[in-house]
Structure 1
Amino acid sequence: MREEFVTLIQKEFPIAQRPFAALAKELGSDEESVLELYKELKAQDIIRQTSGIFDTKSLGYKSSLVAFKTKDIEEAAAIINTHPGVSHNYERDHDFNLWFTIAVEPRSKLGLEKTVELLAQKSNAQEYIILPTKKMFKIKVQLDPRGMGKKKEKVEKKKKISFELTPLHYQLIKLLQEDIDAVYEPFAKVVEELGIDYDTLMHEAKKLQEGGYMRRFATILRHRKAGFNANAMVVWDVDEKRAAEIGEKVAAYQAVSHCYLRPTYPNWPYSLFSMVHGKSKEEVEEVVEEIAKEIEPRDYRYLYSTREFKKQRIKYFSDAFAAWERENVD
């Protein structure tokens, strides 16, 4: 049951009055056993967080992957990590040695490019490139404990239902982005704080998903604790005319969690980015070699992370963004 449970909650964790009872029904178990299993996985640090996974762009934030070339990497990483919109920050084995994702809020006075420029100045970056998403082919971090290897899957594209967010939705986003407690009724404090019933909670949460504001409500694992000891950012130099077709092919591999098309520069020819996961470095490289055979790129390279400086969810609609700008802009 453990493997099935882990697979299930990564896909979708039910927003309901008694979610562990709903999961137990699906697993042919009982509520108490399922809750105890969740607590066990949390205690073992296999589960990182269970919360809403929101779409940065849909919420009005501007974001990008950024690469810095820096001499004092620890100092640079510490400066970059002060920004509340930095969710991931890694050392990677390349001349561009510090790679991070950053988002700025809709009301930012600096904007994305000026914020990156300021961080580059403060951290004494020798050179940097900004790599925003031109096209997203896949974002789906769901690790199969049974292994993924060269298996393929169909990438679903959901149609969005357009609507304007209400004050209730903003409040809901702030609460649903927090990690749940391992209790029978983890959403009790949400309904109590907002003064709504469970039917309203479920209806409005579903609406956030249909509008594309929330991708899903699910569990994220700590990769290495879950047995996935290797992951690589693999970048591909591909024919721009075939990039969309090639991106779809790369995204079809189950071991690929992220796949994006990004801009190129004179000093950076790689336009297609993918994150590939495996239980070993050998397993990752087997998948990458299989992909390379299929798509026939001009060139590709591995960017393994050698150190993690930051990995945490962005707190949307937090006052920390405006506070950072006040503190850092002269």
Structure 2
Amino acid sequence: MDIEKIDNELLNLLQSNFPLVEEPFLEIGSKLSISESDVIKRIEKLKKINYIRQISAIFDTRSMKYKSSLIAMSYDDSEIDSAAQIINQHPGVTHNYKRNHFYNLWFTLAVPPDSILGLEKTVEILKSESNAKSARILPTLKLFKIGVKLDMTGKDDISTVEEKKFYGESDISKDYVFQDIDTDIIKEVQEDFPLTSKPFTEIANKIGLDCNELISHLKGLKSHGIMRRVAAILHHRKAGFRANAMGVWDVPIDQIEQIAPKMAAFKSVSHCYRRPTYPDWPYSLFTMIHGRSAKDCNDLLKKLSDISGITKYDALYSSKEYKKTRLKYFSKEYLDWETKYKKAI
């Protein structure tokens, strides 16, 4: 199936902020001068050809009181595939990639607030079970930016700078008290939205709410920083963004607050974090870049180096994707996994 110009415009809109209104597809259609039914048909097509993974609410892990971290592990190349499969069995592993470095397996891990084992013990078990040679826990010390929005229209150059309209450290909820209704709502809206005229009505009916109550509650979760947005998540490579570079920067600690916002301002930088360093890992600042080619990513990394003055950096490209999914909150799979390994406590 061919992708038309209007499809790319639609993909950009869906990645931004899905309208929190009773008839969201009608509102999207009005922005594109097409009908509601045409919007829905085009999304169905884009999902069928694997451009769109899902449309759902996106929540902030730390605001949800989950403990999470980026984890780096090292394996012999002959063992990395089998190791990745062991790692993938944990329900809190959502992204898992092979990268070009001594630490050649990189994954994100989250455990719920009521975890029996906790994050560090879980990493210890995963390291042992997968026979990793070495492991590094690299939690977020400060979030400067998070939000993947791939420009499908080609209108933005990879080095385009954007205004500060992205989710950062100040948006994270520190003291929100969750109610039972929050749990019920989050369980439903984290799933793929139905492609119907009134998706919020269909979701609300499952919870025993009316549409306006659900939308009002979602807006409340967003204002408190619990929900970042409702949006479409794309299959990056299928959508033409075949290069994925994790730029890691050796930034002096006293310069991070000055340099990180400059890097985060670039649209093609989807993530920007401060993380801890180790004797064998001097990189304190991480930037994730998605480009249509490695050259695009390298050009932007060079530009980031030029504007920041940081010359000690590396680019870790993903050479294999082992897992990419959305974190499922309030899932019993965590307890099942921990029960299996409770002997390690």
TM range (shorter): over 0.9
Of 258, 263, 267, the residue aligned with 1:245 is 258
Alignment of 1:265 with 2:285, yes or no, is no
SS at match of 2:266: coil
CA–CA separation in structure 2 for the residues paired with 1:284 and 1:221: 19
| Structure 1 length-normalised TM | 0.96
Q: Deviations for 1:88-146, whole angstroms, at most 9, x for unmatched residues?
A: 00000111111000001100111111100111011111111100000111101001111
Alignment of 1:153 with 2:151, yes or no, is no
CA–CA separation in structure 1 for the residues paired with 2:87 and 2:231: 28
CA–CA separation in structure 2 for the residues paired with 1:60 and 1:128: 24
Of 306, 319, 328, the residue aligned with 1:306 is 319
Q: Which amino acid aligns with 1:234?
A: G
Alignment of 1:37 with 2:42, yes or no, is yes
Q: Which amino acid aligns with 1:296?
A: G
Q: Deviations for 1:239-261, whole angstroms, at most 9, x for unmatched residues?
A: 11101111111101111000100
Q: Which amino acid aligns with 1:154?
A: E
**Pairwise mapping of residues 165-244 of structure 1 onto structure 2 (< 5 A)?**
165-244=178-257
Q: Which residue of 1 aligns with 2:75?
A: 70
Cα deviation for residue 273 of structure 1 reads 0.5
Q: Is the 8 A contact 1:138 1:155 kept in 2?
A: no
Q: Deviations for 1:158-194, whole angstroms, at most 9, x for unmatched residues?
A: 6578642211111000000001122223234321111
SS at match of 1:65: strand
How many residues are paired up?
330
Q: Which residue of 1 aligns with 2:3?
A: none
CA–CA separation in structure 2 for the residues paired with 1:148 and 1:128: 37
Q: Which moved more, 1:20-29 or 1:159-168?
A: 159-168
Q: Can you give the 5+ residue segments of structure 1 that lack an aligned partner in the other structure?
A: none
Q: Which residue of 2 aligns with 1:141?
A: 148
CA–CA separation in structure 2 for the residues paired with 1:214 and 1:324: 26
Q: Which amino acid aligns with 1:262?
A: R
SS at match of 2:199: coil
Q: Which moved more, 1:188-197 or 1:4-13?
A: 188-197
SS at match of 1:6: helix
SS at match of 2:307: helix
Q: Which residue of 1 aligns with 2:100?
A: 93
Q: Which amino acid aligns with 1:45?
A: N
User: Structure 1 residues 160, 276: CA separation in 2 closer, same or farther (over 3 Å shift)?
Assistant: closer
Q: Which amino acid aligns with 1:7?
A: N
CA–CA separation in structure 1 for the residues paired with 2:147 and 2:176: 24
CA–CA separation in structure 1 for the residues paired with 2:102 and 2:216: 49
| Structure 2 length-normalised TM | 0.92
Alignment of 1:294 with 2:307, yes or no, is yes
CA–CA separation in structure 2 for the residues paired with 1:286 and 1:298: 14
Q: Deviations for 1:29-75, whole angstroms, at most 9, x for unmatched residues?
A: 21111111111111111011110110001111000000001121112
Q: Which amino acid aligns with 1:93?
A: N
Q: Is the 8 A contact 1:80 1:119 kept in 2?
A: yes
Q: Which residue of 1 aligns with 2:13?
A: 8
CA RMSD of aligned residues (A): 1.4
Q: Can you give the 5+ residue segments of structure 2 that lack an aligned partner in the other structure?
A: 1-5
Q: What is the percentage of aligned positions where both structures have the same residue?
A: 44
Q: Is the 8 A contact 2:200 2:215 kept in 1?
A: no
Alignment of 1:110 with 2:117, yes or no, is yes
Alignment of 1:26 with 2:31, yes or no, is yes
Q: Is the 8 A contact 1:148 1:278 kept in 2?
A: no
CA–CA separation in structure 1 for the residues paired with 2:118 and 2:311: 35
Alignment of 1:123 with 2:123, yes or no, is no
Q: Which amino acid aligns with 1:318?
A: S
CA–CA separation in structure 2 for the residues paired with 1:190 and 1:84: 24
Q: Deviations for 1:8-46, whole angstroms, at most 9, x for unmatched residues?
A: 110111233322112112222211111111111111110
